[in-house]
Structure 1
């Protein structure tokens, strides 16, 4: 099979590799589309190690390993490959664990890829910093499903897309971070006044760099809780005023990172990553089937040869309110 190896220079080498064999609890997927994310360049550049760094998979089950139930050859699925492990999604075939794989309804296209069961009954203000990215947009969608409002979405060029996800009648707003921190702070203060809310206790910062974490800390009450996405960053200054934690997609394979006071991470989320993933994978299938969960806006890149350009554009920050997906096969 063909496999793309991303170099620290973001050059991509296409190599011939053997088709992998799924181990116990794993699924071999014929990749139709692979998503491309900022972490796909960061994990290679920051580590200095060449890697097939793709992890988002949409495709068709080719084979299953031992002790796999609920999946069989020919199933249409989406999956999350274990980060930094062999057999990633920038290839014609990829491996994923069963607990991070879910079925795709027939009406959900492969390109769209991407607790609601206890909806809130009182206003729960939530800041989503970076709401136009794929992670931020899905935070907004799940928050709406959980009846969490008002949502204070912070975005830039992607503002029109974010506005379509929000409910202005519930107090949801989009704030343009490009107008500066003072504008963000004053707008949030006015929102609290207008809606007669005392403070904001919760924030999901999907950027966690370039001053985002520090601004989020200013927006929250002293006993507020913000979760961040970059495990490499030192959050010590932020942790002086608020509760801090990491929300990291790799938890579904490794379990939550432990609290790390040296980096300002105070809180270790409870629960087991695999169990969390199994529950939410089933929820995603149902959400796609029922229509309350939809895919992120996307741009199709044809073939692995288009991967270097996609990675460089993500690194340069020129991609807004859309996700690159690499077409690897025609089903």
Structure 2
């Protein structure tokens, strides 16, 4: 790890004033410190934002507001979220380890970097780490890599479980900077790699995530997060599904489905949702709709199984809901 300065700031205004090229914000530090130790990241200035007033979970008619510095474990344990948005609570509880969930912040989780081994190994090329250096995963080991949203420059998967659940619920972020406050949908916040995989999100210089805004959705109480991985604890997804269903008299009125572990960003499955609407809830309809999941997938040498796994994960998640 290289030498750096560490400054704790008391206010959001002070935090954005300290933001400059070569600086980094520190919240739970569960990702930043790891990457600094690996020398993937080497900021000159680290700005500790843990004292900022960005905590709290507020429930109202407009939905739920979650402070960006709320800890993952506290959000998962919140009674309203556990009851009305179980997909969020379950995604959090299936993330990392209990110790990390106690430290990691909501905002930090949404900004965590990919777990691609090439990105984290500074002895190998990586277009995310060094633009223009190449993507070894295209012809190398790529079992864990993405099959949706990929490009010739990058096939790394997005790592956050929470983001998958929030994408399904059409959540927005509140961002603050010297220029003021703006709100952006999480689905628009994440950027596809294209030819610039080093640009992962629409967080502008000097901006800070202050809140996560979960819109009201009465039928989100019928939701689930299913994560398929190589081992049950502390492992990233081969494929995951965030699913919510609105079922009335046995017929699916609406559906929300997003996948993780298969895309360069959390991937909303709109074609599957459309196929479910108007169908009678049951295995036959779930299987038929899930067949849409493989459309547009670009399979690599070692991850072709994800096409089948994605469809089966969706069906299994849907079947787990009481309809």
Alignment TM-score, normalising by the size of structure 2: 0.25
